[in-house]
Structure formats: C-alpha cells, structure tokens
A and B are shown apart, each in its own frame.
Chain A
Amino acid sequence: MDTLLTADVAAKSLNFRRRSSTYVDAIHDLPEKESMAPAQLYSTESGRLFHSGRIVIATVGLPARGKTHTSVALARYLRWLGVKTHIFHLGDYRRAFVGAKGEVPDDYFHVNASTSSVLLRNKILKKCREDILNFLNHENGQIAIYDAVNPLAGGRRALAKEFEKHNVQTMFIESTCTDERIIEENVRSVKISSPDYIGWKPEDAVQDYLKRINARIPHYETVEESDLHYVKMINAGERVVVNNCAFGYLSQRIVFYLLNLHIKSRQTYFCRAGTTRDEENYKGDASLSAEGQDYARKMSEALIAHRESEHQNLIKQGAPESSALKPLTIWTSTRKRTVETASYLENKGYRVRQRSQMSQLNPGVCEKLSERRIRELFPDEVAKHEQDPYHHRYPRAESYHDLAVRLEPIILELEREQNDLLIIAHESVLRVLYGYLMACSAHDIPNLEFPRDEIIEIIPASYNNSAKRIHISDLPSRLVPGSPEDIKIPVPPSGTISPLSGMGTPAGTGTATPETSGREAGLLPLRGNISTRP
C-alpha cells in the first residue's frame, strides 16, 4: 500500500486529473510541458517567477467554508500570472486510499483516534506531502496549494517546520465564518447534492450535514500563531487578517487577489461584436454595418431568451417563484463596433461599461494583409510564429502575451463583479479571458474559436468551471465562421486540440465522448482550430 502511485490516485478520484482539453476547465491538470503562462512577464532559468522562492499555501477551515473555492480561484490566477502552481486536495488522496464507496473510520478526524485510524491518516498525509515536495523540488513548481482542514495549531506548526527544512515557505489561508447563514448557503449549494440526500428537504439536509461535520471534526483551533505566515478570511472576505506576509511579491499579490474574491456564483457570457462597414481596417474605428446591427439585435434576443428559459428551469427545479434573475452588466471595449453591438441591450436598460484595456490585439504589420500575403512578405516571422503563436509578436504587433498582461485589471474586476456579465469584444480578447476562466494553456489560447453564431456561457462551480454554447439562429451563414475584421495572422495547424471532447474523463480510462452528444448537450464550448474551418 505504501507504494501507491499517483496514477492510482488519479484513476480512483474522478476529478483528480484530466486529459488536456480546452472544453474542460484545466485547473486541476498539471501542465505537461514547459511553456510560459498567459500573463507571465518574464521567465527565469528555474522557471520560477519574481524571485519569490517556493511557497506552500495550506488552507485551514472546516468543510463548507469555501476552502476549495479559494484554492481553485487562487491557482487559476497564479497560473495565469505564470507561477507554476498545483493544487493538492487531501480529500482526493483520502478517497483514493479508501476507494470511491469506502468511508474513512468515524474517528478519523478525532484527536484521540484509534491506532488504526492514526496509521491510515499518517499514511495519507505522508503520500500527499511527498507529492507536494516532489512537485516543488523536482518539477520546478513554485506554489503548491495544499487543500486540507489543518485544524490544529500543533499540526500547522509541524507542517511549516517540515517544509522549512526544504527551504519552502508556508502560508496558511484560513476560511472561517461567524455568520451561520453563509455556511448554510454554502452547504446548500455545494454539499448536499450528493446521493445521500436525495429526497431530503433542503433545510433538513443542511442541518444533518452540519451535525455530521461537528461530530467528525470536534476539535478545531482558529489560526492565531503569530510566528506563522497566515491570511485569515472571515465571512467570505468581509474581514481579512494578514499576518507576517510581506515576504515577497507573490504573497502580497495573493492578498490583493483575495480582497477581490467573493463566493457568490454568477454567469459570464462571451460574444463577438457585429461586422462593420470597413472590414479590413484595424486602425480605423468603423461603425456597425446594417448586417452588424442585425447581428446585435439577434444576439441580444438570443441571450435574453436563454436567460429567461434558464430562470424558468430553476423555478421548475424548486426555486421560489419570486426569485429574480441576477442583474446583467455588459462590458465592451472602447471600439465603436463593440459599443454599438451593446447598444441594443443598453436601450433595454442594461448597464454598459466601456473598458479600454479590452481593445483587440494590435496586428502591427499584418494589418490588411491576407494570410497568403503575410507568408510571402514575412516568411521568417511566420516560421517563428508557428513555433510559438502565443508569445511571438509580428513586427510592431502585440502578442497574445502582451494582451494578457494588459487585461489583468479586467481579470480582477471580473472576480469582483457580482452581476452576471456579458463581454462583447474582439475574438483575441475573448480567447484570453476564456483562457483565464478555463485555465487553457498558452499554447491553446491563440487557437480558440468564437464563431459569431454562438454566445459562450461560463458556469462557475467551486471545483471547476464549465462552458456551454448558446446558439444564435437566423444569422447569414457568411457571418458565422469567418471573422472579416479578424487579424489574419497565420496560426499553425495544431494537433493538440481535437474537436472531440475529453469531458472530464479521468486519465487512463480514455473513452472519448462522441462529438455529437457533446454538441447536442451544449457541452462543447469551442471548436478546434483553424484547420477545421470549412
């Protein structure tokens, strides 16, 4: 048993590790090869950033306090910044050891547990910590997020000391609630969907779940060890205590991010702007054509109808009749075509904000050139671009990386926004924002496609996000696949994004879901790449 391999853990734990796929939020995947992350500013020889050293972020908190949500959100942001981060959920290890159906002993979390429980506990902890150290020491990892309860002060000190031996800093992030309503809401939304509670009344299920937690984890000490690095988030970030965390750029950055994080869930929609009168011109700022106006109307109506039907579904599933749709806010770039695409909704009373950071990728010398012409004029640049389409920059152009760096304030406001959000922007901007929310690799981002006849919806969940497509009907077909105002920067045909969905299949079992079922179920957010274009 001691030689249990991580692969077994992966196979037994459904969500542990997935095959690379842009349809599925890849936040739990370990990047397979070294490549720079979306917003990474520079790389160092070790592959680590900001000379901040290596950090273990250990969560602290009882179940249903939002630990997993915080871990996942933080990992998403850090990876996007280019910090090599991986999450180690102790629960996944526990489930892998006892099997999917198995239960850990009743006294597993007790201070005075039986010898056999202590042995089991130690074995699981040991395996998880070995994996963490292996990631930091041998895989150039910079931040390991250790998602566990870590309930006792003594255990936390020992943990920090153990990592200290390996020259790794430990930063604790405690999620704690003094407001019972937040806990109950959290239990209701993420914990009681399990088969155990089918047929229960929600209130009873919540109470039963909380009772079980209290019985199982009777001893809990809040973090107060002033010698440790810790951040204490009280009531979903209403109050944040930061202790002894000024040890590096990353620790401060993490706190800044946490200040903007909230745990309410909301949808994000992405769509393209309508077509314009002056199709090929990047520098000119043209207004929508009649066709573009028509697109704006159809897109808006499709979105409104979709939201209404989702709302009805919720009511059917037992939400109270009176529950209102979450308000919708619209962000556009400052380009006329995006502003004008939003004006149909604006006239209906929706709130629109222009964000200058959301202007499209600057095509530089490639402006107004066809792909063929670019290949003729700049064969060397095309060759370089095909090597690394994310970071390569045509003369006087921006790379996707440049774009991601300038989008950072948008990412943080995206986390803070509490309303549902529709983002109308150029395809290049949508690629980067989608890449953030779905943890796509820098390699995949330039190849993502947003056909004009679809609105992409991102549905948040604490363990991982999922994407869905909403069809806009009755659009002239020539509007749909191409993007006339697109920058025709040639991208290499890529074999890595298959139009077949991986759909959360754990590595090893490898049965791909047929394309059609995904499409029908709306589970295939994105088509593959340029080579699949008609």
Chain B
Amino acid sequence: MPSATESSSPPKEAVEQYRPNLMNQSPAEFMRPTTRTRGTSNAKTNGVGVQVEDTRICVVMVGLPARGKSLIAQKVVRYLGWLSITAKCFNVGNYRRTATPQPNAAFFDTSNKEGERLRKAAAEAAVADMVKWFKKPDNLIAILDATNSTKARRRWIKERCDAEGIESLFVESKCDDEDIIMSNILEVKTTSPDYQGQDPEEAAKDFRERIKMYERVYETLDEDEADMTYCKIIDVGAQVIINRIQDYLQSRVVYYLMNLHIKPRSIWISRHGESMYNLSGQIGGDADLSTRGEMYAKALPDLVKQSAGDLPLTVWTSTLKRTAQTARYLPYEKLSWKALDELDSGVCDGLTYAEIAQNYPEDFKARDDDKYNYRYLGGESYRDVVIRLEPIIMELERSENILIVTHQAVLRCIYAYFMGSPQDKSPWMEVPLHTLIKLTPRAYKTEEERMFANIPAVSTFREKGSKAQHQETEESTRRNSPMISGEAKA
C-alpha cells in the first residue's frame, strides 16, 4: 500500500521531463512570464522552489480609511499594466455599494450585525471574482483594495489564496500624521461615491465617524503574522518592514511602492521642434531643427513660464540633436538620457512612410495590425521602448517638477504610463508638434492640459492604413488632439 507521503511529491520523471514551450512568446517580454504551468498539474515548483514564471500575486491592501490605500492601488495597477503585466484592482467598497450605496457611519459599527454581514459578503464576492479572474493565464497581479483591518480577515484571505496557489503580498499603509489624513479626507473621500451629492462638511464628519468605527477593531500587521509576505509602510515611508519577499516580481512591486511620494507636482512633456526630417517626411535619423522648429525652441521658455511660473524645474532631453536644440534656450538644469531617444526604426530609418510601404509592404501591414508589438527589422517596438523607459519612470516618480523634451513614440509611452492608456491605443495617439503637455497626477486620475505655441508645423500623424506624407495642416497645430481619456476610478 502506498504511503500518504509518496503521493505528495511529484514523480521524479515528471520533474525531469518538465519542458516549457518557448514558441508562443511575445517578441520582447520583460518581467512577463515566458510560460505558465497552470491547470492540470498546478506544479509551482521545478524541484527547487517557486519559479518566477509561475507566480500569481494578490496584493492585499491593509489600513484604516484615508491612508492612501486606493491611491497606491491605482498607481500599482497603472505601473504594472504599463509593463504589460496584467493587473486589476478589486475594490471591496464597490461590491458593498451594490447592496448599500450610501451607508452612514453606523453601518460600519462592528456591533451592527447586518452591516458586518453585508461587508463580509462584499469581501467574499470580491475574492471570488478575483480567483475567477486568475484563471486566465495572462492575469498575474490582483490588488484587493479594502481595509482588511483584522488578523482574522487577513488570515482568511491568505488561506483562500494559498488554496488557489496564489501568492499573497500584504501592503499596509499605517499613518498617524493628522495633516495627511485630513487632506486625504478632503480631497478624496468627499468625492467618493458613498457621499455623492451630499454636503461636503456633513460627509467629512460622517467619514471621520466611520474611521473611528474601524479604529476600534483595527489590528496592525505584526509578529504573529510572520509567516505572511508583507510590506508595512509606516508614516509614508519613515519606516518600512518587508517580510518574506519570495521573488523578483514582489521585490519590484515593493521597490516601486518605496519610490512613490505624494507631494503635489507636475510633469511637462513636449516633442522636439519640427526637424528637417519632419519636413521631408522621413522617419528616425538625427536631423537638425527646421526654421520653424528653431522658432519653437525660442518660444518654449515663455510657454513653460506661463504654465509653471517660478517653480523649480529640471529639463530632461534625449541624446539626439533635435531635442537638445529644442531645449537649449530653457533656463533650467538639463540632463540628457539615452533612454529618451526615439524608437529605433532599424532598416526603415531615414525612409518615408511611402517608401516603407513600397519597400517593405508586409512589414508595413504588420505594423498597422499590431503597432505596439511590431518591431522594425533591426529596430525597436513600442514594447521595447517601454522597457528602456522603466528607469526613467522610477526616477520621475521620485522627482518633483520635470520638463521632458523627447520624441513622438517615447512621449506616447510616457503619456500612457500617466494616463493608463491601453496598448492598442497608445501608439496611435496624436501628439502634434509645437505643443506642450502638462500632466498633474491626482489621487484617482492624472489631469492633462495642452498648450499650443501657435507655430505652424507639418503633421507627422499617420492614421492606420494610410501612408500619407507628412502634411502641412494649419489646424493640426491648433486643435485639440483626440485625447485618450485617463482611467477613472474602478
């Protein structure tokens, strides 16, 4: 009779015969798994512990209301999505609202049995949906946004995750700074769906009552939860406790969390001024500015000043001539980054779209079909550009006011990071020349403002399927482009 212990470890041959399928792979995977071993085997190990490829992580937010949990959750989703790691936020409040759209503070009293039951039901529904969502092989990181304020609730979530083979990473935001809590209450919670249409003063008062209800039962992550993977952020990073990080992807999430700050700031982005290549309709290259491009460079300091006033700024450019020339009259400190160089178009560098359509008809079509993943022969794809922009984004998160002068494709990628634009849309976004874009990150979405220098330029925008020459369109420099709207709160 076989003993029970034998059946718990996979047979030796099965381990040795494990072979990933390497064929179905996107051209430029970053942290994305190459293969997944889902379904039948549930084999998370290769005899040597957890493999990066096999990880699915549930990031569980922990903390009292008004501690910035939703802000953190949204930023992580946007950051991961931008890196092509499919992430989704499950907000327990949204589930609860379907039953009780606008409860008052008494609903959150733990002695209110009905309230307690409804809130537990909402958590269960959210976790059940999350588990269902994880069945799809590409879905990697879920964020469970709720207070999860008791040890019992957290243990329950961990056990649910363990049973499904999902790693859990608890992220607690613990903060006692009255100023931060108050500004959170005012800016975020008075616009919450729970208080829509109510008097803001009353809403804030009720909300503070609600926080008190939670404070009575709140238990912070501590020693007797040492078996869990967690990251506890105390007073916006004054102290961070990181427990049992299991893989690179988790460390990446924690590193990102540690770099976030919540000071108000803006980022300005602009393309370089019109270049000689823009005039001739060629792509790529390292051309000088045209006369009109030079005019834009001269107009830029005033345009920036109108928008930024006397704020301290740092200017970042690429290493190509046209961005340095565009930025040269700006009276700020400047840094040039190779990572901000334009998408490398490989063999097509220096050609016009018409020439590409003629010489590489198949490539031209392939690019239209999937512009985000299409990699020019010997060059780069949008996905490749995102990979090399990653350190820039981390540095941007750490910095305050930055003005970036860069190129069309790179600008689209940075814009997509802040606005959460989907990959099938972001490469097609129209960004006219001689336009300054101001992005201001707010709690639930990024605000955008566009300023036009009113200096004519060719349009370099090419619609899907078209091989249009770069056209002289007066209005393209004046009108608002079809913006891709930023995401709203889930």
- Whether A and B are associated in the same complex: the answer reads yes
Spell out A's residues near B (CB within 8 Å): 41-42, 226, 237-246, 249, 252, 255-256, 259-260, 282-283, 327, 334, 339, 346, 349, 351-354, 356-357, 362, 367, 395-396, 401-402, 405-406, 408-409, 412-413, 416, 418-419
Q: How far is the CB of B313 from chain A (nearest CB, A)?
A: 15
How many Å lie between the Cα of A351 and that of B43 in the bound state?
Answer: 14
Question: Told that A241-B242, A354-B34 touch, could you supply 8 new A-B pairs with CB distance under 8 A?
Answer: A239-B243, A241-B241, A256-B254, A353-B34, A356-B30, A356-B384, A409-B31, A416-B247
Is there contact, CB below 8 Å, between B251 and A260?
A: yes
> Of B119-127, B198-206, B232-240, B469-477, which binds chain A?
B232-240
Q: How far is the CB of A286 from chain B (nearest CB, A)?
A: 13
Could you say which residues of chain A place their CB within 8 Å of the CB of B51? 351
Is there contact, CB below 8 Å, between A41 and B337?
A: yes
Is there contact, CB below 8 Å, between A246 and B258?
A: yes
Question: Could you jot down 17 A-B contacts, CB within 8 Å?
Answer: A238-B243, A239-B243, A241-B242, A255-B240, A283-B378, A349-B16, A349-B17, A351-B46, A353-B20, A356-B384, A362-B344, A395-B286, A401-B338, A405-B388, A406-B388, A413-B248, A418-B49
Q: Residue among B17, B251, B384, B395 with the most chain A CB within 10 A? A: B251
How many Å lie between the Cα of A280 and that of B30 in the bound state?
Answer: 28
Given A354-B29, A413-B248 in contact, is the A405-B338 Cβ separation under 8 Å?
A: yes
- Name the CB-closest residue of B to A351: B46
Is there contact, CB below 8 Å, between B387 and A349?
A: no
Residue interface mask B236-265, A partner, CB < 8 A = 1: 011111111101100100110011000000
How many Å lie between the Cα of A252 and that of B254 in the bound state?
Answer: 10
Q: Residue among B240, B384, B387 with the most chain A CB within 10 A? A: B240
How many Å lie between the Cα of A418 and that of B246 in the bound state?
Answer: 12
Is there contact, CB below 8 Å, between B238 and A244?
A: yes
Is there contact, CB below 8 Å, between B22 and A356?
A: no
Could you say which residues of chain A place their CB within 8 Å of the CB of B488? none
The listed residue (B16, B52, B255, B388) touching A256 by CB distance below 8 A is B255
- Name the CB-closest residue of B to A240: B242
Could you say which residues of chain B place their CB within 8 Å of the CB of A242? 239-242, 258
Could you say which residues of chain B place their CB within 8 Å of the CB of A339? 22
Could you say which residues of chain B place their CB within 8 Å of the CB of A255? 240, 255, 258
Could you say which residues of chain A place their CB within 8 Å of the CB of B286? 395
- Name the CB-closest residue of A to B251: A259
The listed residue (B31, B248, B335, B349) touching A396 by CB distance below 8 A is B349
Q: What's the tally of chain B residues with a CB closer than 8 Å to chain A?
A: 55
How many Å lie between the Cα of A246 and that of B22 in the bound state?
Answer: 41
- Name the CB-closest residue of B to A255: B258
Closest 5 interchain pairs by CB?
A283-B378, A256-B255, A259-B251, A242-B240, A240-B242
Q: How far is the CB of B340 from chain A (nearest CB, A)?
A: 11
Is there contact, CB below 8 Å, between B27 and A356?
A: yes
Is there contact, CB below 8 Å, between B395 and A249?
A: yes
The listed residue (B226, B255, B378) touching A239 by CB distance below 8 A is B226
Residue interface mask B35-57, A partner, CB < 8 A = 1: 00000000000111101110000
Q: How far is the CB of B450 from chain A (nearest CB, A)?
A: 30
- Name the CB-closest residue of A to B399: A249
Is there contact, CB below 8 Å, between A246 and B387?
A: no
How many Å lie between the Cα of A52 and that of B391 in the bound state?
Answer: 16
Could you say which residues of chain B place their CB within 8 Å of the CB of A327? 46-48
Is there contact, CB below 8 Å, between B245 and A259?
A: yes
Q: How far is the CB of A67 from chain B (nearest CB, A)?
A: 19
How many Å lie between the Cα of A327 and that of B339 in the bound state?
Answer: 36
Q: How far is the CB of A192 from chain B (nearest CB, A)?
A: 27
- Name the CB-closest residue of A to B28: A356
Given A256-B251, A259-B255, A406-B388 in contact, is the A239-B242 Cβ separation under 8 Å?
A: yes
Q: How far is the CB of A251 from chain B (nearest CB, A)?
A: 9
Spell out B's residues near A (CB within 8 Å): 16-20, 22, 25, 27-31, 34, 46-49, 51-53, 226, 237-245, 247-248, 251, 254-255, 258-259, 286, 335-339, 344, 346-347, 349, 377-378, 384, 387-388, 391, 395, 398
Could you say which residues of chain A place their CB within 8 Å of the CB of B25? 334, 354
How many Å lie between the Cα of A49 and that of B187 in the bound state?
Answer: 36
Could you say which residues of chain A place their CB within 8 Å of the CB of B28? 334, 356
Given A42-B335, A353-B34, A413-B52 in contact, is the A282-B378 Cβ separation under 8 Å?
A: yes
The listed residue (B29, B239, B254, B337) touching A42 by CB distance below 8 A is B337
The listed residue (A246, A249, A402) touching B238 by CB distance below 8 A is A246
Could you say which residues of chain A place their CB within 8 Å of the CB of B16? 349
Could you say which residues of chain B place their CB within 8 Å of the CB of A244? 238-239
- Name the CB-closest residue of B to A42: B335
Is there contact, CB below 8 Å, between B242 and A259?
A: yes
Q: How far is the CB of B222 from chain A (nearest CB, A)?
A: 12
Is there contact, CB below 8 Å, between A241 and B19?
A: no
- Name the CB-closest residue of A to B241: A241
Could you say which residues of chain A place their CB within 8 Å of the CB of B238? 243-244, 246
Could you say which residues of chain A place their CB within 8 Å of the CB of B349? 396
Q: How far is the CB of B254 from chain A (nearest CB, A)?
A: 6
- Name the CB-closest residue of A to B51: A351
Is there contact, CB below 8 Å, between A256 and B244?
A: no
Is there contact, CB below 8 Å, between B241 and A239?
A: yes
Is there contact, CB below 8 Å, between A238 and B244?
A: yes
How many Å lie between the Cα of A92 and that of B254 in the bound state?
Answer: 36
Is there contact, CB below 8 Å, between A412 and B346?
A: no
How many Å lie between the Cα of A352 and that of B346 in the bound state?
Answer: 28
Q: How far is the CB of A333 from chain B (nearest CB, A)?
A: 11
Q: How far is the CB of A406 from chain B (nearest CB, A)?
A: 6
The listed residue (B18, B248, B258) touching A252 by CB distance below 8 A is B258
Could you say which residues of chain A place their CB within 8 Å of the CB of B338? 41, 401-402, 405
- Name the CB-closest residue of B to A253: B255
The listed residue (B53, B247, B387) touching A357 by CB distance below 8 A is B387
Q: How far is the CB of B15 from chain A (nearest CB, A)?
A: 8
How many Å lie between the Cα of A409 and that of B391 in the bound state?
Answer: 10
How many Å lie between the Cα of A259 and that of B245 in the bound state?
Answer: 7
Is there contact, CB below 8 Å, between A252 and B259?
A: yes
Is there contact, CB below 8 Å, between B258 and A256?
A: yes
Q: How far is the CB of B260 from chain A (nearest CB, A)?
A: 10
Could you say which residues of chain B place their CB within 8 Å of the CB of A259? 242, 245, 251, 254-255
Could you say which residues of chain B place their CB within 8 Å of the CB of A349? 16-19
- Name the CB-closest residue of A to B26: A356
How many Å lie between the Cα of A362 and that of B379 in the bound state?
Answer: 9
Q: How far is the CB of A161 from chain B (nearest CB, A)?
A: 20
Q: How far is the CB of A400 from chain B (nearest CB, A)?
A: 12
- Name the CB-closest residue of B to A233: B242
Q: How far is the CB of B103 from chain A (nearest CB, A)?
A: 37
Q: Residue among B18, B258, B336 with the most chain A CB within 10 A? A: B258
